[in-house]
Structure 1
Amino acid sequence: MSAQSSFFAFFARIFLAVLFVVSGYFKLTDFNGSVQYVASASSLPVPQLFTALTILVELGGGILLILGLFSRTAAFIMAGFTLLTILLVHHFWTMADAEAMANQLMAMKNLAIAGGLLMITGFGPGAWAIGPGGRR
């Protein structure tokens, strides 16, 4: 990876990670509200468990991406998680009107985010990563 590509990969990694860290932090600080949202937006059987797993993936994975530690693995797991949220939470094809439109937008956003995460999985973390594959 060229120095310029590695530099851009670093910023892409940080920008993606910030989204997840902030989201995970807010879920953690309002756990009960997050559980209520998961319960209302999906048919998952144990919303408390899935909320806790979501916080782990978002906050934990986001921190790993910021550090550049296990970036490829973290990004791969986060991409899978992000794609699953389309199926489990933003299933716009089962909705109508404004709800469908809003959830389709969220699904497309998640699809783009998963694409960025898969780029990290494939090409590595870029510059200033603690783990292997980083350019220092």
Structure 2
Amino acid sequence: MNRIDDLALLVGRLLMAALLLPSGLRKATNLGGTAQYFAGLGLPAPDLMAIAAASVEVGLPILLVLGVVPRLTAFLTGGFVLLTGLIAHRFWDVADPAAVVGQQIHFLKNIAIVGGTMFYFV
């Protein structure tokens, strides 16, 4: 690879981490609130899920930035973000039209992130 490709990959990884890491830190510093949110979504073992989500959302961005096991990191990040979109941003289940738009935006954002991880994967 040449320098511009390396720089573009680094910037892309930094931007992806800039989205995921703050979310993970918010979850990690408010595990109780995160668990309540997960319980409201009907997830099993919301306390454990909150810990897992916070760990993943803090750990994967760090691996992305460092470029550690890039293909595996890209695959895991894409899978996690896709799963998150399908679980937490189910706009098709929302009754309030205004809330539908917000959840749809979040869902499509997640799909775009998955696309970015696919580029990093290859």
- Using the size of structure 1 for normalisation, the TM-score is 0.83
More helix by share: 2
Letter in 2 for 1:74: T
Cα distance in structure 2, aligned partners of 1:47 and 1:108: 25
1:17 alignment partner, SS class: helix
**Unpaired segments ≥5 residues, structure 2:** none
Cα distance in structure 1, aligned partners of 2:117 and 2:34: 24
**Count of aligned pairs:** 121
**Unpaired segments ≥5 residues, structure 1:** 123-136
- Using the size of structure 2 for normalisation, the TM-score is 0.92
Within 5 A, what are the aligned runs for 1:118-133?
118-122=118-122
Match of 1:28 in 2: 28
Across the aligned residues of Structure 1 and Structure 2, the Cα RMSD in angstroms comes to 1.2
Letter in 2 for 1:104: Q
2:89 alignment partner, SS class: coil
Deviation for aligned residue 1:71: 2.2
Cα distance in structure 2, aligned partners of 1:53 and 1:121: 23
2:3 equivalent to 1:3: yes
Match of 1:131 in 2: none
Match of 1:87 in 2: 86
> Does structure 2 retain, via aligned residues, the 8 Å contact 1:75–1:118?
yes
Deviation for aligned residue 1:92: 0.6
Cα distance in structure 2, aligned partners of 1:28 and 1:71: 24
Q: Which runs of 4+ in 1 moved over 6 A?
A: none
Identity of aligned residues (%): 37
Within 5 A, what are the aligned runs for 1:48-127?
48-96=47-95, 97-122=97-122
